[in-house]
Amino acid sequence: MAILNIRKEGDPILRRSSREVDVITPRITTLIEDMVDTLHKADGCGLAAPQVGVLKRVVIIETEPGIIYKMINPEIISSSGSQNEAEGCLSIPGKWGITERPAKVTVRATGIDGRTFELTGEGLLARAICHELDHLDGKLFTDCAIRMLDPDEVE
């Protein structure tokens, strides 16, 4: 597979809304596998297609090593609770901020096999789901940060 270029803050594609995937083609499955390679190379926990220059509703998340969620046309169907934690982004390197996100979310998506599934996540997984789905609508974590952190505040 290939390592894709991660778009950085200021790139206008990061502010655009993504289109739904109508058909899971070989091009979409290749995109997802390339996104996995790119995520591993960048040492992140999530990546959305707009971050690699593709305006499609596709995200991948790996908050636990070896467990990769590949989601096509994901949508949050329920959320509860609240958590305020530090958040960063591969598209905004070196910046961190405190954001308020739900403590628990359930997302419905289509897998690369074409089957619909639901995933419920808490803690970091819930944060990652919200963060990556925001990318699909042209939103960055800095848009919802309660406050930005100074470099010496980041662990």
Which residues are the active-site residues? 132
Nearest to 44 by CA among 14, 72, 65: 65
Rounded-to-integer distance, Cα 47 and Cα 96, Å: 16
